[in-house]
Structure 1
Amino acid sequence: MTGSGARLTALTPETAVGASRDLLGELVERHGQVGSMVRTMAHSPAVLGGYLQLSRAMKRAKLDRRTSELVSIALQVHQGCQMCLAAHEAAARSLGVSEEEIDAARQSTSSDPRVAAMIDVALKVYREPSGITDAQVEKLRDLGFSDREIADVVGIVALNVLTGAFNLLAGLTPGAAD
């Protein structure tokens, strides 16, 4: 049920217990299937519930999806979750992002100064949030980002840390059987 080398076993609504059984059952009923990460997160109803809530909340983010995916690519290169990286690259491609822009995001930059500045701040939030400067935030504003979009980057970072760290702990890899 999980990829080669998985440390935790993916659950199903039949093998999960308690709140996890209910959450997985609802997800399978609504979507027909759920991926290995979600099925494996079901070992902890707190983690699964938190992931689902944060994921839903970030779908309402003001920051555009293209920028969010490029930020996520840069974050996952640094975090090292190949499963997340592959998912964010596929999502970026589905939005029409060029391979050149995806490659630039892998290098923590972008040919678009707005995206490059947002990636820079996102990586600072990830690595050293106490080091974020007034000048960095002002630069984002000068590039046309609203305070809401600037705040959204923290949610994007948090969601990437949660999913990437979980997948790395669980030993999930790209191509894990879904």
Structure 2
Amino acid sequence: MNDAPVASQPLLNAVQKQLGVVPNLFRLVAQSPAALEGYLGMSGALTKGALPAQTRERIALAVAQINGCDYCLSAHTYLGANLAHLDAAEIMANRRGGSTDPKADAAVRFAVKVAQARGHISDDDVRAVKLAGYDDGQVIEIVQHVALNTWTNYINSVALTEIDFPIVTAAQVA
């Protein structure tokens, strides 16, 4: 942490205070204070959104699986189980692109379509997620979660970030 740029130090200290540790992703992104500020800003804003923590973790797991990001799969498997209280069957369903919860299933399936089609989805896809009970704001949040998680997936894949959570790999989904 001490080797990060001076401008990143207060942000890393805030992460340390909130999480009790500074995961390697944050240490990596801290090399660019602007990138760290942007990541923490969007991530923090989305935690105040309308989607519950469980749905946010479900989306993160599905997107990490699609992008083959072992760091994010490891982190979100840990966070999903320990903070969002998702069970092993739910986590595996999320990695397969769905959910055992009917409403969350619509959100995860929509997120998967957005990620796989790089945003080029159909009106029917939007209608389906809205029919499941998501409003326009929540649909936008789902897309933002896909974007944010895709960004972290790419950063970790490019940097080959050392995994500092119990290791889960994309190849482990059946």
The TM-score normalised by the length of structure 1 is: 0.81
Taking only the aligned residue pairs, the percentage that are identical comes to 32
> Which residue matches 2:32?
44
Task: Note if 1:72 corresponds to 2:90.
Answer: no
Match for residue 101 of structure 2 among 96, 104, 112: 112
> Which residue matches 2:91?
102
CA apart distance, 1:33: 3.9
CA apart distance, 1:130: 4.7
CA apart distance, 1:174: 2.3
Which runs of no fewer than 5 residues in structure 2 stay unpaired? 166-174
- Distance in 1 between the 2:57 and 2:17 partners? 28
Which runs of no fewer than 5 residues in structure 1 stay unpaired? 1-11
Q: 1:21-170, aligned counterparts within 5 Å?
A: 21-25=9-13, 27-28=15-16, 33-94=21-82, 95-170=84-159
Larger deviation: 113-122 or 163-172?
A: 113-122
- Distance in 1 between the 2:56 and 2:14 partners? 27
- Distance in 2 between the 1:149 and 1:157 partners? 12
- Distance in 1 between the 2:19 and 2:80 partners? 22
Structure 1 consecutive aligned stretches of length 4 or more whose deviation exceeds 3 Å: 21-33
CA apart distance, 1:73: 0.7
- Report how many residues are paired: 164
Which residue identity does 1:108 align to in structure 2? G
Is the partner of 1:131 in helix, strand or coil?
coil
> Which residue matches 1:3?
none
Larger deviation: 16-25 or 43-52?
A: 16-25
- Distance in 1 between the 2:115 and 2:18 partners? 33
Deviations 1:29-75 (A, max 9, x none): 67664221111111111211111111111111201111121111111
Structure showing greater Rg: 1
Task: Indicate the RMSD between aligned Cα atoms, in angstroms.
Answer: 2.1
